[in-house]
Structure formats: structure tokens, C-alpha cells
Amino acid sequence: MSNVVRIRHTSGAKQRLENAHKVMGLANQLSVQLEGIFNQWTKVRICDEEVKKLIQLALCPNKETLDALKKGAEDELSTVFKNTVEDAFAYAMMADTQQLNTTKGTVFGAYNAVTGYYQNVRNYKDDESKLQSIVMGGTAQAKAQRAFELCSQFAKDGADVLALS
């Protein structure tokens, strides 16, 4: 079974059950808000070059890499970073789900490219590692959060948020 909440029947179970109801209520509110944001992003156009820049910024692992990107110094970028960006960009350009009207050439598609890379392309040593990375505050979750912030800024302010200089 998945998506299960277990609460032991102990003296504090009533309080934990009340807390679980609060958490689920917050999750429902958040999903409604996200639906509105994502629907808005499907209407905001972004070109392929901008998608690649957004992916680079979202996946940027450290200040040194960001500085190299700002200088346009491709030769200073690590092979691992370049390959990760290329894999995520390839996913953005070729995955079936990225060819829909709501994703192709949209800010939602750019966001989906980053999250889709971690969910569908990246290799993990096991399912537990994948869960840890995507759901439990690992690398994938941090990169998805950064992509969300960049997409929010892009939808609000346009391509200037992707300027590396």
C-alpha cells in the first residue's frame, strides 16, 4: 500500500489524529493553489534557449558553477553538471509529456522538465534513494524548489530573471 498514514492507538493517538487532519487539510489547500499556478504557467511562453538557461540555474550545484555560467566559461563546468543539464534539456525537448500544448514552450513545461528529469531519467541506486531525493528533502526536492522559484519569477517578470550577467 502507498499513501498510508499509520497512527498507533496509544494515549496520544487522538492528538496525532487531529494533527493528521490539519496536515491533510493544508495539503488540500496547497494542491488547489498549485493547480492555479500551474494553469497560469501553461499560458506563459518560453523559448528553448530560455528553458536551457532555466535548467542550468535550477540544477546549479554551487557558486563556482554559477560564476562559470555567468562568465560563459563552458570549459570550467564539470562534466557531471553538463551531462545532467543535457539530460534534463533532452527530456524537456523529447519526452512525450513535454509535447502537449500545456507543456511544450511553456513555463509549466520548463518546470516539468526539471521535476521530470529527477522522476523519470535520473538513475538512483534504489527506490529508497529515489524517495529520499524527491520527497524527503533531498537533491531532487531542492532542485525542484529552485525551478519553482525561477518559473514563478519568469511568469511574473519575464526572461530577465534568467540573465546570467
Domain ranges of the chain: 1-41, 45-162
The dihedral built from the CA positions of residue 62, 75, 84 and 95, taken in this order, carries a sign that is positive
Average pLDDT, the chain: 85
Query: Which pLDDT score is estimated for 165?
Result: 47
CB pairs under 8 A, 24+ apart, for 23-26? none
Please state the pTM of the whole predicted model: 0.78
Q: What is the mean pLDDT of each run of 10 residues along the chain (165 residues)?
A: 52 67 62 83 94 94 90 90 96 91 92 92 89 85 93 89 71
Give the list of residues 6+ apart from residue 113 with CB closer than 8 angstroms, or none: 51, 55, 88, 89, 91, 92, 95, 98
Query: Which pLDDT score is estimated for 114?
Result: 94
Q: How far is CA 149 from CA 2, 107, 153, 155, in A?
A: 29, 11, 6, 10
Grid cell in block for residue 160: 530577465
pLDDT in tens, 20-50: 656 666 566 667 787 888 889 999 999 999 9
